[in-house]
Every structure is written in structure tokens, then in C-alpha cells.
Amino acid sequence: MEKTLIKGAIYSFLIATLVGLLLFPDWGTEPSGGRSLIPPAWSAREYILRLLRFDALVTLMTLAVLWFRSRIVLTDKRTSMLDFLKGILLAFCVGLVILFVFSFLLGGLR
């Protein structure tokens, strides 16, 4: 159980970091359609903190789903590595969906 939670936390943190880099770009393009970069809207410290907050939220949600999933046992058979990876991926996706629904309800990503 403990190994599952630790692995889930590590993998979800790494995946959330990669997803966060896509969702929170530090540079943008000019509205005129040019390819030149404009300065970021926030400082490097704010960007890193924003990314870490996103990572922490996704990791905590993934851990909660994994913990809840471990409390509900539908069968007595042992799970394979493929089932474990499916569970991690499912927990991560459910966590992302919950995060996006709450962020949409609270006013969107800023």
C-alpha cells in the first residue's frame, strides 16, 4: 500500500509537471501573428510557484484517489503491473478532470 502511494505520488508529480509546462507557458506570441516572443506576464518566481501549486494539487488528488481505490476491493485476485499502471493513469486523469472542473467553476485558470 505504501509503495503504491509513493510511486503514485512520484509519477503523478512528474506527469503534472510536464502537463503544467504545457498549460502555463512562460512565453507567448504577439497578437499580431508575428513569431517574436513577448516578455512573460509574471516573474520566474511566480511562474515556478504557480507550476508547483498545480503539481501539488494534482499529486494530492491522485493520492486521494489511490487511497480511496485501495479501500474498495472488488476481487481477491492480485493485480498485475499493467493493472497497476492503468490505476495510476486513471487516478491521474480523474484528478486532472476534478481540478479542471473546480478551476472552471471558480473562474478558470488565471
Q: What is the DSSP string of the chain?
A: -HHHHHHHHHHHHHHHHHHHHHHS-S-EE-TTS---EE--SS-HHHHHHHHHHHHHHHHHHHHHHHHHHHH----SSPP-HHHHHHHHHHHHHHHHHHHHHHHHHTT---
> What pTM was computed for the model?
0.55
Per-residue pLDDT band at 105 (split at 50, 70, 90): confident
Residue-wise pLDDT for 19-54, tens only, equals 888 777 666 545 555 565 566 667 778 888 888 888
35-44, 46-55, 56-65, 99-108: segment of lowest average pLDDT: 35-44
